[in-house]
Structure 1
């Protein structure tokens, strides 16, 4: 649910032509949400001692996905206006 809201929010931010710097904190939030939902996923990774490497490793992947969605919103605005 939270991840879906974040993804839709990125499309809206692109549509509203907000600064692309919004992608940096959004990528960190998306990585956090991705690690902690579903429940128990973060505890399993912590038990293996891989929490921080997994967290920092997933940030670039989240940034790529969010930039694609941001660009889709920006392109939609460019097509409409």
Structure 2
């Protein structure tokens, strides 16, 4: 059975509690993230490969791939065409 690889995560700032939905790269780990609210620079906690594994609602794709067999599905929200607004 193949699972779907998740490419979005809600990252939560440990400083101010602000949450932001972010797209995770499938081919790299993110080791530095700046909170969009308080500008705190987040780094991975000891033992985690990236900030998504430490502060995100979903572990990064690299960690997901290490856990099991996945297929990659890119999640995105298309912007409406100019004439649809």
Shared fold, TM over 0.5? no
TM-score where L is the length of structure 1: 0.29
Larger proportion of helix = 1
Larger proportion of strand = 2
Greater RCO (CA < 8 Å, at least 6 residues apart): 1
